[in-house]
Amino acid sequence: MEVTINNQNYLLNEACSIEQMLAAVLSTETNGLAIAVNQTIIPKSDWATHVLNPADQVILIKATQGG
């Protein structure tokens, strides 16, 4: 199935959870990361159970420090 992550298209396995998607597309830690699916923030506690659907729009937001 195809989903859009931060404006880039990715092909993922069917019935892919957010946690599985992160393992497939990210090579960094998930600390300080927020995820929105179709403009709805998904709590980190739901990442393992929230299943992505074809054509979902996923936004990964990384917290940064600054001044």
- Closest CA relative to residue 34, chosen from 25, 44, 26, 24: 44
Q: pLDDT per position in the chain (67 positions), as tens?
A: 999 999 999 998 788 999 999 998 887 778 889 999 999 999 999 999 999 999 999 999 988 876 5
* Predicted TM-score of the model (pTM): 0.88
Q: Give the single-character DSSP code of 17.
A: B
Q: How far apart are CA 49 and CA 36, in angstroms?
A: 14
Q: How many residues does the chain have?
A: 67
